Structure formats: C-alpha cells, structure tokens
A and B are shown apart, each in its own frame.
Chain A
Amino acid sequence: MNTIESFILYSFIIITLVLTIFIIVVTCWKIMKENQRLKKRKQIEVKLEKEMLFNRKELKKTSFFQEFYEVLKETDLKKEYLEKLEPVIPTLTNTFKKKNLAFQSYYINFLNQYPYLYEKDENTLSYLKNSVTSSSIYVRDNALKAIFKTKNIKRMKDALTKLNEYSKTHPKKLMTELFINYTGNKEELVDIILTIFDTLKEEYKVAIVNFFSYDNISRENFLLKKIADAKEEKEVRLACIRYFQKRKDKRVLPYLYLFIETEEMDWEYSSISALTLKSYPSKKTTEILLSALESKNWYVRNNAAASLVFLEEPKKLKELLKTNDYYIKRSLYYQIKKQGKVV
C-alpha cells in the first residue's frame, strides 16, 4: 500500500475507533445515571414514608431535588409534614434561580403546588415576580400561577403590570386559563384587572374579555363602552362583541346593526356582529341579517346565514332559498345542512 492508501485507511480506522469509544462511553454513562437515579429514589421513598426530614445540602442538588419532587407527586403526605420544608425554601430559591430555565420552571412548578411554603418568604416572592418576565413560557406561566396561588391582590396586580411591560407576549389562552382557574374571590380579581385594563397589551385585554365570557362575569357596562370606543384595539372590540353572544344585553344591538350597515369600514366587525345577532331575535335583526346576506365578503355572508338559519322558521327559510343569488343560496344551504334544519 502506498502512503495515500495508508493515510485513508488509518483515518477511517481512527474515526471508527473514536466513534466506538463514544458509543461505549455514552451507553455506560446512561446506565450509571439510571442506576444512581433509582438508588436515590429508593432513599427518598424510605425517608418520606418515615416522614423524616431532608437536609438542605441534599435538596440543593438538582438531580436529588428532581427525584424528590417526582416521589412527592406520587405520595400523599400530610400538610403538617410538608410545612416543615418551609425553612429550606429561601436557600432552594437562591440556589435554583441560577440554574437553567428548564430547571427554574420545574422548581416554580413545585412551588405553586405548595403555596404555603413560600407565601411568607419575600425573597421567593420577589424571585417569582421577576420570573414573570422570563424568556421561557414555562417559567412565566408557572410564576404567574404561583403568584395567583397566594391570592394577594396587590401582588397579582404587580405581576400583571410587569408582564405587560415585557417585550414578549404571553399566549392569551394561557392568560384566560390563569384567570379562570383562580381560586380566590373572582369579583375582587375582576375589579383589580379593570383598574389596569387600559394600560394592558391588546392580547391581554382579549384574554380578560374571554375570561369574562367563559366565566359568565357580568361587566356589560364596561364592555359596551369598549365597543363604542373607536380608539380601542380591534381584537378587543371584537372580543367584546362576542361576549354579548353569551350574555344577552339589548343595549349592544345598535352597535351590532351599525357594524353590519357600515361594512365597508371593516368586514370583521360585520362578520362577528352577524354571528352575535343569533342571540337577539327580532324583526329588525332579520332585516339586518338579510342585508348582510348580500355582502361581498364570504365571512359576513356565511355568519349572517348561520344566524338566519338558527333564528328563522323553515317556512321563511324556504322563501329565502327562492333567491336567484347563487352565493346567498349556497351559504344558506350549507348552514341548513350544518344545523340539521328541515326545510
């Protein structure tokens, strides 16, 4: 073999050897790690069973804490025993706040399962408040939940304000869920939210209005004002219109009619208004919906058809189907079939 051939072969042999070593090391490392984990788990299970206390040093280790929390989730322990962990929390917070975001999220998740462990610890509360502006959605979400678990209105307001100032936007569905799952006095929560409502980002305002809708919270006057306010963000006004589909209030009707009649301004208002009118049967509603059926916009036409089919008697629908307009006919037929009406 000449030099080049030898060089190629030796290179290949070296690469294969390195790879073999890599695979062996990885496999051994994995097996070792799993064995250690199981050993730790057994120790923790025994200690928890006997309701023995854990020392700070042990709990400060991330791998130990992870196993500890996993066992804790599966064990039904008395509050009295868990309360003994309270003195350790400041140390744990100080240690874990320097760890990576995934672990921080894990730790905050642990905290929000046991709010009595941190509600008096200012250090942890301040850490939670700062975590509201973390770049990780999980840290943010857990921190918000943990703060809401304390049921302290001022703290909740501060957290929301801080979150609002952060450049990233927390998903609105998670925000709505956070409000819905609040276990304290909801009226108090609503009042505090409304004091900062106007300063909030569009997404958060929508989340709040959706929360009012889902939880059937009565704030009609406030929301009517928002619909009337042309300076209010579009998505917020649309969410407010949707709110009146569930919670009926005839005072919204003039706005709904106006949005449909002035469709050129923005078809989205007309489209949502047409759908909301489903909850307000009247002669005028039918008239307006019939005019919306002739809209150039597909969404407006389709929603108007949905409301008309829902509100009208089969006889009236039969009459409507006599129209020569292909698009009206198509929308009506589709909705009739979808809603299972017999015409």
Chain B
Amino acid sequence: MMQSIFYWGSLGFLIYMMSDALFFLIFGCLAFIKNESVSNKEKLLQEIKEKSFIPVSIIVPITKNSLLVEESLSTIKNQLDITYEIILVSEINLESLKEMIDESISFTKVDLPYEEKIKTKKITEIYEGNLSGVPVLLVKKENGGKSDAINAGLNVSHYPYVFIVSPNRILKKDTLSKFMKKVLEEENTLCCMGNTRYKKIENNKEDKIRNYFKNRVESPKYLTKKKNIFLSPMCALYEKKMLIKIGGFSPKIKEDISVLLRMYQNCKKEKKKFLISVIPNIKIVSLTRKKELIMEKIKRYMGLAYLMWQAKTVLLFQYGISNVFLYFYYFLYELVKPIIVLLGIIVLILAYCNNIFHGVFLLIFFVFYILIQLMVSSLFQYELEEK
C-alpha cells in the first residue's frame, strides 16, 4: 500500500516538474520570438518625438524597509526628454527619507491643494523639490501600507497617466518613453508593463550565478497579448482615470494584484474597448536582497491567492479562454508550487529509500530539468547584460 502511494506520488511529482519545464520552454521560446520580431519592427519605425507624448506622473511608494532608493531614483530621474513628475509617497520622516534619497536635495514644504479622489490615510505633509530638473513631490502620510501610499500618490498627481514603480527598480533611460509611445500607438491602452528581471544583491555585490538561475522568463505574459488579468501590476503604467474609477489599489491586502481584474470587469460592464499591453523590450531590473526577496515572495503569494479567489468567475469563461488556462497555470505552477515541491521532494526521498526509483534516474532527471531552465535563460541572458 505505502509502496504504491510513494510510487504514484513521486511519479506525479516528476510529471509535474516535467510539465513545468515544458511550459517554461514553450513560453520562453515564444517570448524570444516575439522579442526578436518587436526589435526588428522597431528598427523600421521612426521615433516619435518625446514632446508629443502624454505627460506622466511616476509614483514611488517608499517604506522604511526600502533599501535601494537612491540607486533606483538615480535611474528614474534620468528618463529621456519627456514631461513627467516624480511623486515619492512615504510614511517615514523627512530626515530619514533624505538619507535614503540624497541629502543634498532641498525640499520646500507646501500647502498643495488636492482632490481626494480615493479615500486614503491622512496626508500630513507635502514637500516640493527638484531632482536634476525633474519636479518632485514628497508626500508624507499616516501609516497605511503600500497600496494606500499609491492611492495617495494618485490623489496628488497632476498627469493623466501614472507609472507605479517600487523603489528597488532600475529603469533604463528610455523606459518611460517606450511606455508612453505604446500609449500613443494604441489609444485604448489602460495598462502597460515591461519585462522585470530580478537581480539579487548581497553586500552590494551581485550574485551572478544565482541570478542566472533565478531569472525565469515571465513567460505567460507572452501568451495572451492584450487581456491577461494575472500579470503583476506593481511596476506598470496606468491610465489614471480608470485607476481612480476602480478605486485604486486595495489597501486590504499587502500586495494588491487584482487591479487588472477590476479594470477588466469595469470595461466589460461599460462595453469599453481596452488593452493591457506587455512590451517585451522594456527591461526593468529589480534589485533585491535576501530578506526583501522572501518578504516580496510571501506578499506575492498572498496577493495571488486573493486574486484567484476574486477571479474565480474566470472559470466560467467570462474572461476568455486564455484566462481560464492562465488561471490553472498560475494556480498550479505559481501559487501551490512551493507546497507541491516540498511534498514532492519528501515523497521522492521516501520512494528512493524504498528502492522504487533508481538514484541514477533521479540524478539524470534533475540534471536535465536544470539544463532546460539554464538554456532557456541563456536565450535571454544577452538582454540582461545589456543593462
């Protein structure tokens, strides 16, 4: 009886791992092909002057745990010649914040009138400053979490589009202009996101070997072109009007990733055409430290669980077939993956101890599993180095 459980359990686990590698491979190749075709097309299209782009507000929610604010801001302030403002929303005091940003920047306290379009925790102080010629608003508010900070940023922002970015993201000079170009190209764009690569930093040194393995392509992004509601919306560009309409980010959970679902529902209700775009050649690097990475992962899983619950009607084909597939994909290969892997490894060890599987077989299996991941990652490695 036990032998049979170990056998089928471990076999199921191996098939699960195999399918995971296979999906990774298919999506990886699709992403590569799409990226190539976009790059080729881009060579042919003339640049639209940045002054023709719609102005944008960049909202950066800063918490006391944010560690790489200065590095991140140095890239945010250097965007190409496009009209934008930076809004730093924080719950920590000005002096500590200045230490995080750059002590030489002078901020003036202002009594900026604003309309509270989304209810948030009280904004206590607003400062105005300047970062290399880019206007900066520093919003200090009562403690309310990341989502609440983003909503407060939305309230004080001036422009019709907002780009929400965590203070550990490194942008390229043309990131913002590429986003705004997309908005200009497709008039129904509600949300736009790029390709995030994770770089783990320990003691200010990049852990290159680990990063090589960790940089799994955010592959399912490429499967559904325009209406994927499961995309991570924390580093993305939004149409402000729509974001306000759906009540902004929900402060109920730490990482609200249900924004796209609510946007979809709203547009469906109003029978409005819309686009959620992924631009493969926008590369955003996320710098993380071990401690932050674990916290980020926990928040992500909580957010995903909340989204899965909220989006259960997806299974009734209300949001298209591709989202039904993605629902299963994200559920199986992201949300419950840690549990499956943990249980799978235990069962596999037990199966090995009971001589159900050969050690050599298991060794070869995992060598090939890693090899496939490594090879797909290598397809994208040159892009990473570009940064």
Contacts and interface: CB of A to CB of B under 8 A. Distances in A.
A177 B184 CA distance: 14
Contacts of A338: 110
Interface string A122-139: 000000000000000110
A59 B247 CA distance: 55
Interface stretch (A41-49, A250-258, A272-280, A325-333): A325-333
A135 B352 CA distance: 60
Contact of A138 (B11, B45, B371): B45
Interface in B332-380: 357-358, 361, 364-365, 368-369, 371-372, 375-376, 378-379
A302 B156 CA distance: 14
Interface string A1-43: 1001100110111011001101100100000000000000000
A64 B51 CA distance: 32
Nearest to A336: B111
A16 B365 contact: no
Contacts of B358: 1, 5
B364 to A, nearest CB: 6
Interface residues of B, number: 44
B187 interface: yes
A337 B110 contact: yes
B375 A334 contact: no
Given A12-B368, A23-B375, A331-B113, A5 B361 contact: yes
A8 B361 CA distance: 9
A58 B45 CA distance: 22
A9 B113 contact: no
Interface string A75-109: 00000000000000000000000000011011001
B18 A12 contact: yes
A174 B113 contact: no
Contacts, number: 98
B1 interface: no
| Interface residues of chain A: helix, strand, loop or mixed (majority) | helix
Given A4-B11, A8-B18, A19 B376 contact: yes
A322 B361 CA distance: 85
B44 interface: yes
A16 B184 contact: no
B113 A1 contact: no
Interface in B53-74: 53-54
A271 interface: no
Interface in A129-176: 137-138, 141-142, 168-169, 171, 173-174
B41 interface: yes
B44 A106 contact: yes
A245 interface: no
Contact of B187 (A106, A109, A169): A169
Given A105-B44, A141-B48, A301-B113, A168 B187 contact: yes
Nearest to A334: B111
Given A12-B18, A19-B376, A330 B113 contact: yes
Contacts of B18: 8, 11-12
A13 B368 contact: yes
Contacts of A286: none
Interface stretch (B21-29, B207-215, B258-266, B321-329): B21-29
Contacts of B187: 168-169, 171
Interface hub of A19, A66, A169 (most chain B Cβ within 10 A): A19
B45 A102 contact: yes
A19 B372 contact: yes
B313 interface: no
Interface hub of A20, A102, A168 (most chain B Cβ within 10 A): A102
Contacts of B376: 19
A19 B45 contact: no
B46 interface: yes
Contacts of A23: 375, 378-379
A310 interface: no
Nearest to B37: A102
Contacts of A66: 43-44
A8 B365 contact: yes
Interface of A: 1, 4-5, 8-9, 11-13, 15-16, 19-20, 22-23, 26, 66, 102-103, 105-106, 109, 137-138, 141-142, 168-169, 171, 173-174, 177, 298, 301-302, 327, 330-331, 333-334, 337-338
The 9 nearest A-B residue pairs measured at CB: A12-B368, A106-B44, A102-B41, A102-B44, A173-B52, A298-B115, A5-B361, A109-B46, A333-B111
Interface of B: 11, 14-15, 18, 21-22, 25, 29, 32, 40-41, 43-46, 48-49, 51-54, 108, 110-115, 184-185, 187, 357-358, 361, 364-365, 368-369, 371-372, 375-376, 378-379
Given A138-B45, A138-B185, A169-B187, 11 more contacts: A1-B358, A5-B357, A5-B358, A5-B361, A9-B364, A12-B365, A106-B45, A330-B113, A334-B112, A337-B108, A337-B110
